[in-house]
Amino acid sequence: MTLPTVPSVPSVPSTAAGIAAGVRGGELRAADVVEHHLAAIAAREPEIHAFNLVMADQARAAAAAIDARVAAGEDVGPLAGVPVALKDNMCTQGVPTTCSSRILDGWRPPYDATVVSRLAGAGAVVIGKTNLDEFAMGSSTENSGFGPTRNPHDTTRVPGGSSGGSAAAVAAGFSPVSLGSDTGGSIRQPAALCGVVGVKPTYGYVSRYGLIAFASSLDQIGPFATTVHDAALVLDAIGGHDPHDSTSIPEPHSPLVDVLDRGVEGLRVGRITDLPEGADPDVAERLEAAFDALRDAGATVVDVQVPAFGYALTAYYLIAPAEASSNLARFDGVRFGLRVDAPDTNSMYSATRAAGFGAEVKRRIMLGTYALSAGYYDAYYGRALKVRRLIHDDFARAYMHADVLLTPTSPTVAFPFGAKGDNPLAMYLCDLYTIPTNLAGHPGMSVPFGTGADGLPVGVQVLAGTLDEATMFRVGAALERAALGPKGAA
C-alpha cells in the first residue's frame, strides 16, 4: 500500500513562547503560524463561535511583514509571530469593535487601544475580535447580541463570561493567547470554565486606553494562555505606564517571566476561613488538592479572615452598574454606531437605546441610575463605597499574614446553556469569589487544576496584594507544575 503524499507542513508549537522562539530564530515562518491557526478556526469556529470577526487578511499581512523583518535580520520582539485574539471591546483602528452590542453597529474606531499597539510592537499578530457578553456584562456570553460562544470542552455548555470568546479561542487552539477584560471576574471565570490560565492584574498595571469602559474603577485588561509562562510573556508585553491612561501606574514593572522558576519554598498561602459557602464539592475538592500541592512544594498554609468578602457581590452590583449607567450614556445615536430615526432628538435617543441595548445592559443602566439618584445616592452608592473600603482593609490585614490567598475561581464547572437564563442573581453568583479582588484593586489569576464533574476543567484562584504579581505568578507556576505532575491530574 502506498501512502498518499502529504505536503510538508512545518509543525507549529502550541505555546506563544515556542512560536516566538521559532520565528525569532528563523526556523518557523509567521505566515505558517497564521495559516495553522486559520485552519484550526476554519475547522471548529462554526461550532464554537469564539469570534465576532476573524481578521484573516490583516493577520496574513502582519505575518508576512514579520517574516520580512526577520529575513532582514531584525529582532521583532518577544511575541514574534504569535497570534493573539482580542476581546471585542478593545479598539482596533478601522476594524469594527462592537462590544457584542447592536448599538455599536457599523462603528469603526479611529485609533488602536494601547494594548493593541504594544502587542504589535512586540511582534504579535492580531487574528480576530472575540465574542463577549454585551458590554462585558455577564458570566456566560449568553448576553451577546450576536449569539453565545460554546465551550470547546463540551459544546452544550457555556464558556463562562464575559470574555468567553477569548477563553474559548485559546481552549480551542484558535490562538495560543488572547486578551480579555475583567471588571468582576470576566477573565478568571471563563479561564476556569475553559481550562486555561487567566490573569487580572493590579488595577493600573495595564493601560485601558482604547478599552470601551464598563465600570472604570474596576476594569482591567489581562491575558489568557495555555501556560503560566505564556500569560507572563503577554503581560510583560502589554503592561507598564501609559500617559494616555491617567489610572495607569507610573512605576515600571519587572519582568514576570523571570520569577516563574523560583518555587514557593517559605511562602505563606492563606486559606480564607470565612469564605462564603457556595462552591460545589468537586470544586472544593480541587482547592484542597491545590493547598496540598503547594504544601508539598514547600509553602506553609495559614488561616486568615476576610470578613467583608461576603459583602462584595452586593457592593459590586451597586458600584459597577452606577459607573456603567454613566459610561454608557454616550451611546445615544449621535456619535457612535446605531441610530434609529425619530421626529425629535429625545425620541431618537430613546428609540436608539431601546433597539440597541439588550435586556441585561438595560437592567444595569436602570439599577445604576437608581443607585445614583438624588435621595438614594447615600443609601446605595455611598454605602457600597464604604463596604468597598472595608473589603480593601480586610484584604490588607490578611496580606500581613499570607503572601497569597487561594480560593475557587468559579463555584461550579461550566454549566449548560439556559441553566441560569431567567435568574439574574444565579448568574451574578458565578463571580462570588472573583469580585472582591476587583473592589480591592488587587491582582488575581485562575490556574487550571484538574477536572471536576463530568470531566470538566476546574480553576483555582490565586490572589495577591497590590502589585505583587511576581508572587502570584510564582504560585501559579507551582500549581501548574503540580497539576501536570503525577498527583495533579484528577
Active site residue 248: no
Sheet with strand 404-408: strands edge to edge: 51-54, 125-130, 83-87, 177-182, 220-225, 197-200, 444-451, 457-464, 404-408, 268-272, 300-304
Q: How far is the CB of 372 from ligand GLN (least distance, A)?
A: 17
Q: Which stretch binds ligand GLN (CB under 6 A): 4-12, 176-184, 369-377, 481-489?
A: 176-184
CA dihedral 399, 401, 402, 403 (to 10 degrees): 60
Q: Which of 98, 162, 437, 446 binds ligand GLN (CB under 6 A)?
A: 162
CB atoms within 10 A of CB 11: 10
CA distance 322 to 419: 27
Is the preceding omega at residue 162 within 30 degrees of 0, hence cis?
Answer: yes
CB 112 within 8 A of CB 95: no
Q: How many residues bind ligand GLN (CB under 6 A)?
A: 13
Burial of 156 (0-12, 13-18, 19+ CB in 10 A): exposed
Q: How far is the CB of 89 from ligand GLN (least distance, A)?
A: 9
Q: How far is the CB of 430 from ligand GLN (least distance, A)?
A: 6
Q: Select from 179, 178, 218, 186 the least CA-distant residue to 202.
A: 218
Active site residue 162: yes
Q: Which of 183, 352, 410, 461 binds ligand GLN (CB under 6 A)?
A: 183
Q: Which stretch binds ligand GLN (CB under 6 A): 66-74, 180-188, 253-261, 304-312?
A: 180-188
Q: Which stretch binds ligand GLN (CB under 6 A): 109-117, 182-190, 249-257, 297-305?
A: 182-190
Q: How far is the CB of 326 from ligand GLN (least distance, A)?
A: 15
CB atoms within 10 A of CB 385: 16
Q: How far is the CB of 480 from ligand GLN (least distance, A)?
A: 23
**Closest residue to ligand GLN, Cβ-based?**
186
Q: How far is the CB of 316 from ligand GLN (least distance, A)?
A: 7
Task: Indicate the residue among 331 and 349 with the shorter CB distance to ligand GLN.
Answer: 331
CB 446 within 8 A of CB 192: yes
- String of DSSP letters for 194-243: HTSEEEEPPTTSB--TTBPPSSTTT-EEEEEESSHHHHHHHHHHHBS--T
- String of DSSP letters for 414-463: --BTTTTTT-HHHHHGGGTTTHHHHHHT--EEEEEEEE-GGG-EEEEEEE
CB 438 within 8 A of CB 162: no
CA distance 145 to 128: 18
**Does the footprint of ligand GLN cover residue 88 (CB under 6 A)?**
no
Residues 461-490 that bind ligand GLN (CB under 6 A): none
Task: Indicate the residue among 55 and 136 with the shorter CB distance to ligand GLN.
Answer: 136
Q: Which stretch binds ligand GLN (CB under 6 A): 145-153, 184-192, 223-231, 291-299?
A: 184-192
Q: How far is the CB of 34 from ligand GLN (least distance, A)?
A: 29
Angle between helix 114-121 and 228-238 (nearest 10): 110
**Which one of 100, 162, 175, 181 is the catalytic residue?**
162
Q: Select from 32, 15, 64 the least CA-distant residue to 197.
A: 15
| Per-residue contact string for residues 419-458; x = within reach of ligand GLN by CB under 6 A | ------------x---------------------------
**Which one of 166, 186, 207, 410 is the catalytic residue?**
186
* Three cell numbers written together for 305: 479572615
Task: Indicate the residue among 201 and 488 with the shorter CB distance to ligand GLN.
Answer: 201
Q: Select from 263, 270, 271 the least CA-distant residue to 297.
A: 263
**Does the footprint of ligand GLN cover residue 182 (CB under 6 A)?**
yes
CB 70 within 8 A of CB 80: yes
Active site residue 14: no
**Which one of 87, 129, 200, 420 is the catalytic residue?**
87
Q: How far is the CB of 78 from ligand GLN (least distance, A)?
A: 27
Task: Indicate the residue among 139 and 226 with the shorter CB distance to ligand GLN.
Answer: 139
Residues 126-155 that bind ligand GLN (CB under 6 A): 136-139
CA distance 19 to 176: 9
Q: How far is the CB of 124 from ligand GLN (least distance, A)?
A: 23
CA Rg value for the chain: 22
Q: How far is the CB of 91 from ligand GLN (least distance, A)?
A: 17
Report H helices in 25-134: 30-48, 56-71, 114-121
Residues 209-268 that bind ligand GLN (CB under 6 A): 214
Task: Indicate the residue among 431 and 480 with the shorter CB distance to ligand GLN.
Answer: 431
**Does the footprint of ligand GLN cover residue 98 (CB under 6 A)?**
no
Q: Select from 135, 142, 132, 133 the least CA-distant residue to 103.
A: 135
CA distance 193 to 201: 19
Task: Indicate the residue among 181 and 352 with the shorter CB distance to ligand GLN.
Answer: 181
Q: Which of 184, 222, 356, 444 binds ligand GLN (CB under 6 A)?
A: 184
Q: Which of 59, 256, 320, 439 binds ligand GLN (CB under 6 A)?
A: 320
Task: List the catalytic residues.
Answer: 87, 162, 186
Residues that bind ligand GLN (CB under 6 A): 136-139, 162, 182-186, 214, 320, 431
